[in-house]
Amino acid sequence: PEGVRRRLAEGHPLYSFEVFPPKTPRGERDLWRTLRDIEVLRPAFVSVTYGAGGSSRDRTTSLAERIAQDTTLPVVAHLTAVGHSVAELRRIIGSYAQAGVRDLLVLRGDPPADPQGPWTPHPEGVRYAAELVRLVRQAGDFGIGVAAFPERHPRSPDWEQDIRHFVAKARAGADFAITQMFFRAEDYFRLRDRLDAAGCTLPVIPEIMPATRFRQIARFAELSGATVPAELARRLENARDDAEGHRIGVDHATAMARHLLDQGAPGLHFITLNRSTAALDIYRGLGLPEPRRALAATAGGADRGTR
């Protein structure tokens, strides 16, 4: 296998970054600066989100294609079932294959108008992510990621059903999972214990969201169902300026990420919001691999040896 499956098979932790398709020329510049900053780290992949309700379909596909063609970064393209018939989904999957995208993050998505409202599938579409996983499996040789929820999916009535439906995605052919954002390492460990108990060994990569701004994180938490620990919320709310907020968020995420890795998490997936500073500060704070620096150090060593 190639792409993420090959990297998983190597058995080392996978470090990856998430970006979204920008809407403005300025956003485009920020994104490409971020991609170049990330590229030197040789991450396992960069993932490109799929706008709510499929709204960014064309921007997602064209950005994923550009990254695949113009950078050395392996791409994981997100795909949701929202608003698409099975025939359309097959076409989108086919165009990814043609563009050299080898891995997809396969999601159900949420209702576009009211993300927390009732979910109605497209009349000729699929109902749950597991069905889309099967569709992608049939359509081509892709590595397949799925979503995992350390605080359980907001719509799952209980843990038992949540885990059962997650395991169904693994059985349908998923190769790995990426979690929803969370801010307490224990939530991740408890999910892993529940999956272990269910006999599910799918690698679950924790998502790292730097919580640097109180209002932004409160909104994300509400949308995603993640709990922001009261102490973290209080410190962010009282931050004197952006720089202090940045430090609080980066310190919290770095400590949590270190704990996750120490306890055997198979990698880290960093949300960038198309800006590299917070994600890279966490990455560097953890002392994660920096191939270019390693290369410079080796070259320096060789130099000294010849003198």
Active-site residue set: 18
- Answer yes or no: are the C-beta atoms of 252 and 184 closer than 8 Å: no
Smallest gap from Cβ 217 to ligand FAD, in A, equals 16
- Answer yes or no: are the C-beta atoms of 268 and 205 closer than 8 Å: yes
Identify residue 280 by its one-letter amino acid code: L
DSSP 23-92: SSHHHHHHHHHHHHHHHTT--SEEEE---GGGTTHHHHHHHHHHHHHHSS--EEEEEE-TT--HHHHHHH
CA distance 106 to 265: 21
If the CB atoms of residues 52 and 239 are measured against ligand FAD, the closer one turns out to be 52
Kindly state the tokens that stand for 245.
């907020």
Q: Is 153 in the site for ligand FAD (CB under 6 A)?
A: yes
DSSP assignment letter at 181: P
Task: Give the angle 298-299-303 at the CA atoms, nearest 5°.
Answer: 115
Within a 10 A sphere around the Cβ of 222, how many other Cβ atoms?
11
Q: Is 274 in the site for ligand FAD (CB under 6 A)?
A: no
Q: Is 178 in the site for ligand FAD (CB under 6 A)?
A: yes
Q: Per CB under 6 A, which of residues 107..126 are in contact with ligand FAD? A: 107-110
What are the residue ranges of helices labelled H in 141-241? 159-172, 185-197, 214-224, 230-237
Q: Is 80 in the site for ligand FAD (CB under 6 A)?
A: yes
Q: Is 29 in the site for ligand FAD (CB under 6 A)?
A: no
Fill in the per-residue mask, 31 to 70: x = in contact with ligand FAD (CB under 6 A), - = not in contact. ------------------xx-x------------------
If the CB atoms of residues 107 and 260 are measured against ligand FAD, the closer one turns out to be 107
Q: Is 195 in the site for ligand FAD (CB under 6 A)?
A: no
Kindly state the tokens that stand for 155.
């719509």
Residue selected from 165, 246, 258, 275 as contacting ligand FAD according to rule CB under 6 A: 165
Kindly state the tokens that stand for 179.
């979690």
Residue selected from 7, 57, 78, 102 as contacting ligand FAD according to rule CB under 6 A: 78
Length, in residues, of the chain: 307
Smallest gap from Cβ 47 to ligand FAD, in A, equals 8
If the CB atoms of residues 19 and 41 are measured against ligand FAD, the closer one turns out to be 19
Q: Is 205 in the site for ligand FAD (CB under 6 A)?
A: no
Residue selected from 89, 207, 221, 256 as contacting ligand FAD according to rule CB under 6 A: 207
If the CB atoms of residues 53 and 285 are measured against ligand FAD, the closer one turns out to be 53
Residues that bind ligand FAD (CB under 6 A): 49-50, 52, 78, 80, 105, 107-110, 128-130, 147, 153, 155-156, 161-162, 165, 169, 178-180, 207
